[in-house]
Amino acid sequence: MDDRPPLLLGPLTAPAGSRLTDLVPIHLGGDLAVELPVAIVHGANAGPRVAVTAGIHGAEYVSIAALREVVLGLDPALVHGSIVAVLTASPAAFAARTIYVNPMDGLNLNRQFPGKADGMPTERLARWLTDHVLAGSDVFVDMHCGDMNEALVSFTGIEDTGDAAVDDRSRDLAEAYGLRYLLIGPSPGTTTTAAAALGIPAVRAEVGGQGRWPAEDVALHAAGFRRLLRAARVIGDAPTEPHFRTETLRTEAWLRATTTGYWHPSVGVGDRIARGTVVGEVRDAFGAVLEAPVAPLDGVVIFLVTSLAMNSGDPLLALAD
Ligand SMILES: [Zn+2]
């Protein structure tokens, strides 16, 4: 063991070789505040600092359950470097069970990065996370899953920043995570874009959805994160299973409803479909077809909205190829 200095995060001080869990109050303007559940594992040995968030979208339960399981299961004596984990990054959304947005202001937290210190509550939360969690880390991981109204095929996502050293490192870490697909491309306003702008290799990982958190999905997410920690040389061992041979996809297209009504998809999540395929129908309350959208490209259905309720402008599904 060396004499590593303590790790400081906001009001928290974690000595080397320890795990610290606490609620960190974040003021979001006016009377608004949240308490972020944070876990720090400050290893006994030198190594990289890994920052990780789950629950940026509050109803993405597989990510929240998996991150908690991994971080609270690590032995600080065996950790090289440190892990700074925000276990539920949007507590108001979690409590209110909202999809996509923070109920304090109706904004999607994962479109507000790097955030704004004097902005709306969600912008302020993004800013705090950027300044205190992303900044200063050597690796960043953002754990997601399909939202309450979404099914998805497991995948990781990374940016294409043009900085080969950062991009290659992100890709190695995403491949270590070992999910079914790897999406490479821009995602403005997200955590991974903000991390990339700071020169930090970053991976978004998605497993499960639909407001469920079955053990096999939690195990897949947890195993992937542990493999990423091993690839970053933070821990020495990780499960080999379940692990997919990752296929890379680069072109992504979101299809959105142009009418409001009842959504009847005719494709399944994970299906590979051809451009021009009718992907489903939005119908009115009496069953009349309002629209029958078609696939804009050949690709895999990476996520699919599964709620019957559909609003004009909402996503129906995403394709990637
Ligand atoms: Zn999400």
How many other C-beta atoms can be found within 10 angstroms of the C-beta atom of residue 241?
8
**pLDDT of 12:** 96
Residue 125 to residue 91: CA distance in whole angstroms: 11
Report pLDDT digits (tens) over 209-236: 999 999 999 999 999 999 999 999 999 9
In the chain, % helix, strand, coil (3-state, to 5) comes to 25, 35, 45
- Rounded to the nearest angstrom, the distance between the alpha carbon of 111 and the centre of ligand 1 is 10
- Rounded to the nearest angstrom, the distance between the alpha carbon of 145 and the centre of ligand 1 is 6
Cβ(93)–Cβ(60) below 8 Å:
no
- Rounded to the nearest angstrom, the distance between the alpha carbon of 275 and the centre of ligand 1 is 26
- Rounded to the nearest angstrom, the distance between the alpha carbon of 90 and the centre of ligand 1 is 11
Can you point out the beta strands (E) in 125-226?
139-144, 150-152, 155-158, 181-184, 202-206
Cβ(318)–Cβ(300) below 8 Å:
no
Residue 10 to residue 7: CA distance in whole angstroms: 10
Q: What is the DSSP letter of 109?
A: G
Q: What is the DSSP letter of 275?
A: T
- Rounded to the nearest angstrom, the distance between the alpha carbon of 1 and the centre of ligand 1 is 38
Report in angstroms the alpha-carbon separations of 315 from 51, 142, 231, 238, 253: 29, 21, 34, 36, 10
Average confidence score pLDDT of the chain: 96
- Rounded to the nearest angstrom, the distance between the alpha carbon of 185 and the centre of ligand 1 is 16
Ligand 1 is an ion; residues with CB less than 5 A from it: 57, 60, 144
Edge-to-edge, what's the strand order for the sheet holding 155-158? 18-27, 33-42, 80-86, 45-54, 139-144, 202-206, 155-158, 181-184, 247-249
Q: What is the DSSP letter of 269?
A: T
- Rounded to the nearest angstrom, the distance between the alpha carbon of 59 and the centre of ligand 1 is 8
Cβ(149)–Cβ(305) below 8 Å:
yes
* pLDDT lower than 70: segments of the chain: 1-2
The reported pTM is 0.96
**pLDDT of 2:** 55
* Token duo for residue 11: 């009001």
Residue 38 to residue 293: CA distance in whole angstroms: 43
* Token duo for residue 77: 């004596």
- Rounded to the nearest angstrom, the distance between the alpha carbon of 18 and the centre of ligand 1 is 30
Cβ(296)–Cβ(244) below 8 Å:
no
> Is the four-CA dihedral 315, 85, 70, 244 of positive or negative sign?
positive
**pLDDT of 223:** 98
- Rounded to the nearest angstrom, the distance between the alpha carbon of 143 and the centre of ligand 1 is 8
**pLDDT of 243:** 86
Contacts of 26-32 with C-beta under 8 Å, sequence gap 24+, read 26/124, 26/125, 26/128, 27/124, 28/104, 28/121, 28/124, 28/125, 29/118, 29/120, 29/121, 29/124, 32/104, 32/121
**pLDDT of 242:** 85
Of the candidates 218, 293, 287, the residue with the CA atom closest to the CA atom of residue 257 = 293
